[in-house]
Amino acid sequence: MTSEFAVELRDVVKRFITPEGNEMAAVDHVTMQIKNGEFFSMLGSSGCGKTTSLRMVAGFEWPTEGEVYIEGKAMGHTPPFQRKVNTVFQSYALFQHMTVFQNLAFGLEMEGAKEAEIKKRVGRALEMVQLTGMDRRKPKQLSGGQQQRVALARALVKTPDVLLLDEPLGALDLKLRKEMQLELKALQQQLGITFIYVTHDQEEALTMSDRIAVMSKGKIQQLGTPVEVYERPSNKFVADFIGESNFLEGKIKSISGNEASVFVPGLNAEVTGTPISEGLVKGEEVTICIRPEKIHIADREAVQQNMFRASVTNTVYIGVDTKVFVDAHGVKLKVWEQNRISRLDPKSFYTVGQEVWLMLMPENTLVLKKD
């Protein structure tokens, strides 16, 4: 490994011509550096440019502008078969006319590996994904989960420096997907290979990644660790896309290093929060973001700042949490309360119309630039 970064995208732009004949930037000036041995995710909804970015690393697409570097080397128009990366495709893209063994051997034969070596490496790869003994089956004779493992093994058997995964778990059912998430993460740590993982599933990205690039409209909205992305979303889009958020509109009344006082007309009150965006100034219109699980419900006012009166409009019990919907002077907020106590007693629920006090901790109340 000669370079600090396994993969680097420098100011990459990819433009397509739409069927209507318009030009559209699927990837719009994206720069990111993916470290060696890192589990890196690109997260976003469809059309955000995450898959196109991945395909440019694989070599299936070439950037219109900018450059992709793999192990410090500029890739230019290097075709996929000359890049030391391998891909696990969303559709698996298994060769249906070949057995599992032949599917895995394909990539090794292309390298010119000897038969004995192929046998050994294929055997090891199948063991790694727990498919030993399945080598003679055709892909169609396998379950979806097994096919997914074959696709994974087929890429891993080549011992790439970087493994690219394009929504590899998308077709699996929820339970299997959760199992595979942990398994993939364990495999990545065990092998020490760089994984670049594309997904639209925020929970999946949070579960597995060392770092996440949240993307939208071809641009990176935020790049950071799961904790950073969730606890300190850099803008409203990220706060809204990852997890759930309450948003309040207001105007900064006073601001010092790590505290801002914002007047929220909806609440007719001042809210103290933590400034997140750079360069916020007094008098600026801002958006306040607070996670539903970070709002505390109290039944009486404590002598504290950031307490607001509200009335309960609805409660929904979902097992692990109770979702409480409240109305504070016409501002609708959602509050998730963890069910740490048994709710068997109906009296333990809030009743509709019940008056409560909401408590916001300033360090969880994020002041963001207005979009």
Partner 1 sequence: MLQRLRENKSAQGTLLALPTTVWLFVLLIIPLILTLIVSFGRRSPDGDVIYTFTFDNYIRLFGYSTDCPEGQAACFDPLYVNILGRSLSLAFNTTVLVISLAYPLAYFIARAHPKKRNLYLFMVLIPLWTNFVIRVYAWMMLLRKEGAINIILGWVMNALNIPFTPLEMLYTPGAVLVGMVYEFLPFMILPIYTSLEKIETSLYEAAADLGANSIKTFLRVTLPLSMPGVVAGTILVFIPVMGTFIVSDILGGRQVILVGNLIQRQFLDARDPTFGSAASLILMIMTLIVTYFYTRKFGFGEEIVVA
Near partner 1 in 158-217, by CB under 8 A: 158
- What is the pattern of x (binds partner 1, CB under 8 A) and - over residues 340-359? --------------------
Residue 272 to residue 335: CA distance in whole angstroms: 18
Q: Smallest gap, in angstroms, from Cβ of residue 93 to partner 1?
A: 4
Judged by CB under 8 A, does residue 96 bind partner 1? yes
**Interface residue with partner 1, options 118, 155, 198, 335 (CB under 8 A):** 155
Q: Which range in 23-31, 93-101, 250-258, 328-336 contacts partner 1 by CB under 8 A?
A: 93-101
**Interface residue with partner 1, options 72, 76, 80, 265 (CB under 8 A):** 80
**Interface residue with partner 1, options 76, 95, 203, 282 (CB under 8 A):** 95
Helix H, strand E, coil C: the string for the chain is CCCCEEEEEEEEEEEEECCCCCEEEEEEEEEEEEECCCEEEEECCCCCCHHHHHHHHHCCCCCCEEEEEECCEECCCCCHHHCCEEEECCCCCCCCCCCHHHHHHHHHHHHCCCHHHHHHHHHHHHHHCCCCCCCCCCHHHCCHHHHHHHHHHHHHCCCCCEEEEECCCCCCCHHHHHHHHHHHHHHHHHHCCEEEEEECCHHHHHHHCCEEEEEECCEEEEEECHHHHHHCCCCHHHHHHCCCCEEEEEEEEEEECCEEEEEECCCCEEEEEEECCCCCCCCCEEEEEECHHHEEEECCCCCCCCEEEEEEEEEEECCCEEEEEEEECCEEEEEEEECCCCCCCHHHCCCCCCEEEEEECHHHCEEEECC
**Interface residue with partner 1, options 52, 53, 87, 246 (CB under 8 A):** 87
Judged by CB under 8 A, does residue 50 bind partner 1? no
Number of residues that bind partner 1 (CB under 8 A): 24
Q: Smallest gap, in angstroms, from Cβ of residue 208 to partner 1?
A: 22
Q: Smallest gap, in angstroms, from Cβ of residue 287 to partner 1?
A: 41
Q: Which range in 30-38, 42-50, 92-100, 263-271 contacts partner 1 by CB under 8 A?
A: 92-100
Judged by CB under 8 A, does residue 139 bind partner 1? no
**Interface residue with partner 1, options 1, 24, 74, 110 (CB under 8 A):** 110
Judged by CB under 8 A, does residue 97 bind partner 1? yes
Q: Smallest gap, in angstroms, from Cβ of residue 236 to partner 1?
A: 35
**Interface residue with partner 1, options 60, 230, 263, 336 (CB under 8 A):** 60
Residues within the interface to partner 1 (CB under 8 A): 58-60, 79-81, 85-87, 89-91, 93-97, 106-107, 110-111, 154-155, 158
